[in-house]
Structure 1
Amino acid sequence: MAPRTPRRVCDVDFSRKAHEQQPPLHNRWHPDIPHIAEVQENEIFTVEMMDCAGGAIRNDDSVADIEALDLSGGHCLSGPVRVVDESGALAMPGDILMVEICDLGPISGQEWGFTAILPGFGFLSDRFPNATKAIWDFEGIFASSRHIPGVRFPGMVHPGLIGTAPSKELLEAWNAREKALVDTSSSPLVAALPTKRNVLLGTIEEGSPDWERIASEAARTVPGRENGGNLDIKNLSRGCKVYFPVFVEGANLSMGDMHFSQGDGEIAFCGGIEMNGFLTLRCEILRGGMKDYMSPTNLHAQPFFEIGPVEPRFSDWLVFEGISVDEHGRQHYLDTTLSFKRAVLNAIEYLSKFGYTREQIYLLLSSCPCESRISSIVDFPNAVATIAIPTAIFDQDIKPKKKR
């Protein structure tokens, strides 16, 4: 039997801005954002996607575009795509939607991407306050950057964001719990609450009564949640199968934020290699799957996935450890976030001995296929976290050497 040709259900014109696209993109989660396409389970279909910044970042050596970037919009998502079974019946709340990633990659003519430090954002924002950008060029499966010379590695392309639409009840729960967090925190950056600023709602016309209501309720796309969303998991790549809970009729699958490569943690915020890309998918509906395989409570039902068979292979790593002791020498109890921060800072300190600036290393650890682990969570008071860096990505030997 001849292979099936994927059906294109969403095209993007990369010469136009995000709000000018047809079909329209969206940058919020809401159950009432209409679907733009319908696919049948087991059908192979392709979606094109804009990068996370909606085309605002240029392939040049200036950071002016990073400094001017407005984050109130969010990721520009393609979809929603409604899924039906072979009889035409919709996926229904309580089902599981299995989404297989059949193929993905850069768009022809768009074989480049970027990694950036945004002032005030990122895992180490206190250490790296200045806007910084690295442009990566793609050559087949490899990426290299004129801004971080002497490094080349194969990418593990993946959508940083993919998920199903929330129900009305789940959306209300998201907004309530995130607002409570903001209200009880001294920092405004602990959550991104709904805002009408720079909102895109797909085919819903701006200024209509529906637009006003949905814009005021719709959740931002910044965090991953029960529907999947912005999970930034580098293993969601070719051959992977993801099992999403279904909360609305048709599931309404959306996707975006494509990365050519990313390190575990995406520590620099725009830390994966952000790019324009395509995603080819196949879906199946598992009727009643949430009851069979997930928590019956919507607030605890979350996606799970099978890792695909294709990934970069490395045999030699340098692994840096971190423990729950802060920079002032104060002991903390099993603080895994602090332990990981110390591991990353230890790696940055080490690699800075090999001719790289700390900003270059921060961007590199966000974008290369490094691997992070919680290595110990029981040996109180110190949790142990690690970050492992493949040595083969460098054009020099970065291992310690005995002085001659």
Structure 2
Amino acid sequence: VILETRDALDGQLTPDSRSADAGSVNLNVVHPLTGPVYVNGAEPGDLLEVKILEVEPASWGFTCQIPGFGFLRDVFSEPFLVRWRIADGFADSPDLPRVRIKGAPFPGTIGLAPSRGLMETIGKREKELLDRGGFVLPPEPADAIPGGAIGGEALRTVPPRETAGNVDIKQLCAGTTMLIPVYAQGALFSVGDAHFAQGDGEICGTAIEMQSVFHAQFFVRKGEASRRGQNDVAYYRDTYVQAPEIAVPRRFYATTGTSIEKGGLNQSENATLAARNAMLNMIDHLTERGYSRQQAYAICSVAVDLKISELVDVPNFVVSAVLPLDIFV
């Protein structure tokens, strides 16, 4: 199959947009997806094998910081926009001087539809989480496609779930094969939200967002999800995601974070706090290289990889933030 995809914000930002425009985007349109594609022979209990053949990038992309959204949304409350030129396998931007990002395009959102029963189960558990004070986006019919009664009960595309969805896994580029459990007749495959490049974590909430042309092959593994008891997506590949010196940078600078608040309070086994501290330390480092804090936040989102370094040395977990130095020119 070959599918054209729109960017995550459905064209609200253009090469002529400015940072202020990122503060007025309509998040109800996230994410416009191409699909659903009915896969003949796919039934609940099967695995859909999705072999990603190619993700053709557009000629431009963007990274934006939207107030109230992103991993460090309490720290970064102002809108910010980076407009990228994409050509010859790299992205650069006048908004981030001296930075050149090697691309490995992939779909940020890719997956299948849930069954009616699974949709109701997900809706119930997310409503319970919302009632407990969790950050959940409930169903919203405004700007939904389709809208009306369906939009009023349908699931939002922001969180990934059992059928994949907005997983934002940068290794899902050309050459990777996904194994997704089928819950609905025909699988009902959809894709969109393409990224030219992304750091593991996508911490500001966006990567290098773009339109794309997505190429894939589908194969149905009959009964395999039921036989394996597989309820979540898996993926594999037999070659490097990128050249080894890019996938595992030969030159890097890394910061770390632990489960200790800046004020000194020790949390117990808190990986989120450790990741937050690692990224705040990386942002401090990037400001020493001459970037503003918002520029640094954007660099972290598109190029810095968060890695769990240890989860056993209680009470403190360690997360590392790894910055490849070859992005600087």
2:325 to 372, 382, 391: 391
Distance change (3 Å), C-alpha of 1:171 and 1:384:
same
Paired residue secondary structure (1:375): strand
In structure 2, what is the equivalent of residue 24 of structure 1? Answer: none
In structure 2, what is the equivalent of residue 191 of structure 1? Answer: 136
In 1, Cα distance between equivalents of 2:86 and 2:112:
30
In structure 1, what is the equivalent of residue 128 of structure 2? Answer: 180
One-letter amino acid of the counterpart of residue 120, structure 2: E
2:171 to 225, 231, 235: 235
In 2, Cα distance between equivalents of 1:348 and 1:294:
42
> Does residue 146 of structure 1 match 2:94?
yes
Instruction: Give runs of ≥4 in structure 1 deviating > 4 Å.
Output: none
> Does residue 305 of structure 1 match 2:250?
no
In 1, Cα distance between equivalents of 2:196 and 2:181:
26
* Cα deviation, residue 125, structure 1: 0.9
In structure 2, what is the equivalent of residue 247 of structure 1? Answer: 183
2:225 to 268, 275, 290: 290
One-letter amino acid of the counterpart of residue 232, structure 2: Q
In structure 2, what is the equivalent of residue 11 of structure 1? Answer: none
Paired residues of 2:10 and 2:29 also in contact (CA < 8 A): no
In 2, Cα distance between equivalents of 1:228 and 1:57:
26
In structure 1, what is the equivalent of residue 156 of structure 2? Answer: 220
Q: Give me the identity figure in percent.
A: 36
Paired residue secondary structure (2:139): coil
Paired residues of 1:105 and 1:260 also in contact (CA < 8 A): no
Distance change (3 Å), C-alpha of 1:255 and 1:137:
same
> Does residue 121 of structure 1 match 2:56?
no
- Which structure's CA Rg is the greater one? 1
1:364 to 285, 299, 302: 299
Paired residue secondary structure (1:352): helix
TM-score, normalization: structure 1?
A: 0.78
In structure 2, what is the equivalent of residue 165 of structure 1? Answer: 113
1:339 to 263, 274, 289: 274
One-letter amino acid of the counterpart of residue 33, structure 2: L
Instruction: Provide structure 1 residue ranges, at least 5 long, that are not aligned to the other structure.
Output: 1-44, 85-89, 202-210, 296-300, 396-404
In structure 2, what is the equivalent of residue 46 of structure 1? Answer: 2
TM-score, normalization: structure 2?
A: 0.96
In structure 2, what is the equivalent of residue 37 of structure 1? Answer: none
Paired residues of 1:235 and 1:308 also in contact (CA < 8 A): no
One-letter amino acid of the counterpart of residue 269, structure 1: G
* Cα deviation, residue 61, structure 1: 5.2
Paired residues of 1:265 and 1:366 also in contact (CA < 8 A): yes
Q: How many residues align?
A: 324
Per-residue CA distance 1:50-106 (angstroms, 9 max, x = gap): 00000000112512321211112220000000112xxxxx21000000000001122
Per-residue CA distance 1:380-400 (angstroms, 9 max, x = gap): 1100001111111112xxxxx
Instruction: Provide structure 2 residue ranges, at least 5 long, that are not aligned to the other structure.
Output: none
Paired residue secondary structure (2:53): strand
One-letter amino acid of the counterpart of residue 103, structure 1: E
* Cα deviation, residue 308, structure 1: 5.7
Paired residue secondary structure (1:181): helix
Distance change (3 Å), C-alpha of 1:308 and 1:103:
farther
